[in-house]
Amino acid sequence: MAQNLLPIRILFHSAFVLVYLPTILLAFLLDGDWTGLVSLSAIAGLGIFATLDILAIHRKVNQMAFLSINIFVAVCLPGCLWPMIVGDIMGIVDILGGRYVTYLAGDIGFPLELTATVTLLGLSTFYVLYIAITAVIDKVGGNSFWPRYPDQPALSSSGPRRKVFLGPRRTATERAVVTDHCASYIFQRSVFRKHAFEPTGWAVLRGIIAVYCCVVLGSIERSQTS
Mean pLDDT (whole number) for 59-74: 90
Sort residue 202 into left (φ over 0), alpha (ψ -120 to 50) or beta. alpha
| pTM as predicted | 0.74
- 212: in domain: no
Task: Check residue 88 and give its pLDDT.
Answer: 81
- The model's pLDDT over 36-47, given as tens digits with 9 standing for 90+, comes to 899 999 999 999
Least confident range of 30-34, 36-40, 182-186 = 182-186
What percentage of the chain exceeds 90 in pLDDT?
Answer: 19
Position 214 pLDDT exceeds 50: yes
Task: Check residue 112 and give its pLDDT.
Answer: 81
Number of domains in the chain: 1
Confidence of residue 154 (pLDDT cuts 50, 70, 90): very low
DSSP 59: E
CA dihedral 14, 18, 21, 25 (to 10 degrees): 180
Confidence of residue 156 (pLDDT cuts 50, 70, 90): very low
- 16: in domain: yes
Instruction: Give 139-207 as a 3 state SS string.
Output: HHHCCCCCCCCCCCCCCCCCCCCCCCCEEEECCHHHHHHHHHHHHHHHCCCCCCCCCCCCCHHHHHHHH
Which residues form the domain of 140? Answer: 5-156+166-177
- 88: in domain: yes
- 213: in domain: no
Mean pLDDT (whole number) for 89-101: 70
- 118: in domain: yes
